[in-house]
Structure 1
């Protein structure tokens, strides 16, 4: 199984009412839930670890996850409220206003021994629940337990609106990056965390530590990856009619992990030994999945058949 640990929430997406007023429509989201859904829709057994409310919005989240066959055995249900995120687009990029204090996702705790990691191939962590305690420390404890035998995937998926101390936040993200086997950042996240630092140098720093694969996604400009053995690889993004970019990075991440699992390269030794050709194929698949998500509104990762059609493989 592949596990994704972190946020599950409700996005309020901008829309127009019938009489022309501005309004919002709800959509289930949350970066880590999106990753779990992406993996499940690509036929990889996946589960979500984290807190989900028993309120009306929590029921929407659970129904959405289960329809995509995401295992919720490790999701804690509680009466605390659901995290809500209101979305506004600025020059094509989504910006968020979060209502997240004391929510089910933020009150999740990790109980050592509660997860049988011998049945898990990879754990993905990232996004809003890593910003501050208690969920920062709880997720770090889970990672410390899991990484003894399991591949760790990390995507900070920065949300500046929730950050109170940027330097402290950057240091927290470094703690996870140093423990991860796979590190992915968007170009926007890289700029927020590292400013004008040299990308090659930062990737080399991570590869000299624990990481085997570092990926930088650049939206319409494609993907750059650095690997211990395969070196530096660039994969272009396909041309699409853009709807929005919400969930694109999550779809990419879920597809990357699903493809690594399918090709037998998700385990730490084989991940570290991947060839350039094998890595390029996996990255190309993940980029195709992200492209499908960008071609429709909201975080809606593709099913396997949809990706096959985009890749020209038939249904």
Structure 2
């Protein structure tokens, strides 16, 4: 089938960490024997007036795009942002797939809610997790038969592979954090853990250091830790460099407040690195106690710290890569083949 993939973000060399899952989705659809074109913005402005202007330019881009009718399927990300515009472009004989991500169903302004009015019952929907499927059904009353689960392009197991691995029994432990300097990503808990480092080392009898990827709205708080000898701040990495980051770590810290899936955690697990993550939203679907990592109570520092200690002291018990094969890119590609076959026969 001929597919047009639509989104207002796409990773670039300058901002390789932006919307990496969209590139993964593009690659997976293409690998599932479909012809895929992109209608995207590569400007990736994320703040203030620049962000508003970027959005305005993308609205113009989708308004003046003339070739919608050449596609069998319109694959729309962020429908709640510009669905009201695209609804005038959709042909009667075209299939429509809406792919839902992140906070789209939890944080909506009036224009987002207005776009939702243009969703038709014949449209298909893809969500990244069971959690998000239940959210979509409860929020929009979508027919279960029109919803497919596909984990945001999946994880390329040939790229995200084991290096040092999680089970190194050394005196030194590296804690990684790759989610960005944002309150909603649990930055405050990570900073509190850094301040509590002496006690953490005393309880675990290990020498502990941190590797943190440096980006996000609250980057100034990270800069305050820059002079500490046990903190390494890294510039954002392209996706093909991320396995090196994970394999330099022993544990990934993932204290996020909410995730529709959380590819960061799954990528770490593919490198056989256990994850300490929040017991909320989609994370309990793949963080399994004693196997892939440990969960902690959302926003609770003591629970977070205890989970980190538990993984450090029992690190050889974890083998996360063994438990997440269904999140592999190969499985996602096969899933897309089934999805497009089903859509084509309905």
TM range (shorter): 0.3 to 0.5
More strand by share: 1
Question: Max radius of gyration: which structure?
Answer: 2
Task: Give me the TM-score of the superposition, normalised by structure 2.
Answer: 0.38
